[in-house]
Structure 1
Amino acid sequence: MSDSDPTRGFSKDAVRNFNASAGDDSRGGMNDVARQVASQYRRDTMSPIMVSGVLRMVELALLFLSGLCIYFYYVGFFNHLAWQYPLAIAAASSLAVVLLDVTDCYQIVSVMRPLANFGRLLMVWAGTFALMALTAFAMKMSQDYSRLVFGTWFVVGFTLIFGLRLVMSKLIRRWARDGRMERRAVIVGGGTAAEVLIRSVEKQPYNDIRICGIFDDRGDKRSPPIVAGYPKLGTVSELIEFARIARIDMLIVSLPLTAESRVLQLLKKLWVLPVDIRLSAHSNALQFRPRAYSYIGSVPMLDIFDRPINDWDSVAKRAFDIVFSIIGIIVFSPVMLATAIAIKLDSKGPVLFHQKRHGFNNEIIEVYKFRSMYTDKADPTAKQTVTRNDPRVTRVGRFIRKTSIDELPQLFNSLFGSLSLVGPRPHAIAAQSHNLLYNEVVDGYFARHKVKPGVTGWAQINGWRGEMDTNEKIRMRTEYDLYYIENWSLLFDLRILFLTPIRLLNTENAY
């Protein structure tokens, strides 16, 4: 069983009951209140992890540049120990940031309370200088360095760090008030269990969790419409639609101790969403084997699913997309120019074809392709799959489809951000197999959309490209896509990217 299986760790009876009810996923529309609440949370927030990461980089730069300026002022511009001084300053700055991290000085709670952490900051900065002095003494180099330079740097460096944290504490409090830096959570399951959880979370000092509402399938008799001041916004099926609109960070499942089968039913529906899913640890009677525990303040949670490619990983992947998309556009620009001319000469109509497809979190995106069909026979919805010798495809279209040249304009999608360079390939909204939508064929199909779709992907380089004329092909493509999501890394992306031209030589399934 893969790590993404939501039934992992539960008893066999519960899993049997879970699977029996898995197909019952009626999707009603949200009520007006839920839609209004969701619209309030459309805007993305700043991640606390990202904020503390940027603070690390800023403090490192401040310490290094202030030390360098003091060295230039007292000693001159590389007049004495031209490389030793900058190296010592860089090493001390890096050591200070590492020690601040080890002592939890980059936790948001610590950053918000600079006065309470004044002593800890001073101790770390003094410890850095003590270690630096000890190292210089052991290497018999202490006499070579100016005590005035490092004494001045000690005062200036600490003043800069502490001053920056005073500013950051005010900024973070303002961002928290404005809703720009918070973790948005939805409680799944109402009643007494949810009330206990909400009260526990709200008691935590400097809490960055904003509870957006409660979703529960049970009626008002078992699950009141208002719990601890928060409204019940709808059912779990409506929660999926809610999470498509609102920028939710976390789902917290809070159910009674005896609700093992119900938890499994919920996870079956919810794991397709690109959010962290946590199980409130007061349900510890469940026979569940979590990979890790996490805490909201002192409230323990069981980590069920983590949002993939999040925080700094998303920054690294976006940088990867921009760099390699620009390289690809430059390298393939002659091919794209020649293709555009050939299309114009071959048949009437525009060079580019625009198609609406499912993007990240099921958002509708517009994907660019070179036009490969006759204009009057084009199928923007892709409801009818392209087959071998399809009369709708032009002469040039057959060639560019077989060689995947028709996909090259999607490098611009990747550059602009609607696609990633590597990821699950986006399918057209109305794409079907035997009159069934793909999500009706494959259970959990929409889990492919937990990450941004890609120009190329793990499924494509493993032979699952082209015509999806059987349900088995759709299932295999989904399986490979989910494997990619679970095992993503930049090296994995590089591997897929460089294997793509080689694997495209196999045109067996491309029409």
Structure 2
Amino acid sequence: MNAPFAASPLLERTEFDSLLVAPSRERRRLQCYLALVLADILAIFTGFSAMGYLLAGTDGFAPSLVHAQLILPIYLTLALYNGAYSTTSLQQGWTGVFRALVAIAISVVVVVFVQFLIRPNADVSRMGFNGGAILAMCVIAWLRLQLRSLVRWRCGENVLNELIIDDGGPRVELRGAIRISAAAMGLRPNLNDPNALDRIGLVLRNIDRVVVSCPSGRRAEWAMMLKGANVDGEVLDDEVARLGAQGARVVGKHGLLLVSAGPLGLRERAIKRLFDVAFAGTAILVLSPLLITVALAIKLQDGGSVFFNQRRMGRGNRFFNMYKFRSMSEALCDSDGNVSASRDDQRITRVGRFIRKTSIDELPQLFNVLLGDMSLVGPRPHATGSLAGDKLFWEVDLRYWQRHSLKPGLSGLAQVRGFRGATDHESDLVNRLQADLEYLEGWTIMRDIQIIFLTMRVLVHDRAF
């Protein structure tokens, strides 16, 4: 009986070597991890010992070493779990420093808590313990940054071996990745040919991550081959980029692409809301004399209404009524926002020109914040009839709708960058949209606070008319 497959020929040494596209970095990464562990241990003992010596001379060594021994096992456990020893920490030095400092800070809290429970009246030098912890954190940060040169020497700029296999698909760029041609290397994902699979396996030896760019007809074969290759494998599919997919999962026999997700979790939303309510409530109380004065000035000027309500698009693409101080003649107000205000706009009153120039007309939106329709910081809400050039905003760029995944704000990243006022050209909208989408990608409460302070600098601007 004939064998179903031809016997795999023995590779010559030269051909075997030619198929190895990269040396192994696994052992080198382990060496770097070990160096980080030893450096952290040294830093902890050095920090506590140095503080003990500064406070009590040589007599301070013994208690300081006890503190270090209590901290060390907890720190190493936390550091292993929070990624202080990971490829990300090797690749990004400051990320590793931050994770290590978080681990030691938690370790200090745990030791203090346990010691209080066990021996609440223990005579412990607070200065020695706290000072030792702070000094240890400083030494950890310094040593880890010094070890960046060791990581670069042992692993290079990229601590992982990443490989791109070009097999007739679109060209993809990954910084530091190795690129090979499937045709030039004789690589074929033929699942019925063990020799072909063996050849691919040799190429993938020592590779940590591989990306295959091929026509759609060969993606299934490459995917099946990569599943048995003991490597993190990815197949290029530009449909993922077109849909803006953020993840994938399999349900039954169907594959689902995650194309949208709320930008903030429950905790982030709670923090943002508490900050909004506290700040807006305080601001209304502090600014109440100004709000009353402006309301009286508007009323005395022409006897019309004080506020101007306009329907705007908010979070989740839902409409809400946004409040502003009325700055135009009541008969000429444009509730749909079809015509943007211009520099010499005859619709604007004398009081209106001043409050628009100083952004005072926007202050009633603090009540929108308290009502939950708006936030202090977020993409500015636009009237549905707003035009950029001669096009509606969403006709310029369909990504416009993505900005509504968060509550609109009194101010935003676009405003502090100077992208405000009339949208005479399509580029005026594109610049704002880019800033809004950037804000959505990386929300932090500190960034909101920073934008609020930066807003103070641009309250008076030459594009308000």
Task: Please report the TM-score for the alignment, with normalisation by the length of structure 2.
Answer: 0.48
More helix by share: 2
TM-score, L = length of structure 1: 0.44
Bigger radius of gyration among the two: 2
Task: State the structure with bigger RCO (CA 8 A, min sep 6), 1 or 2.
Answer: 1
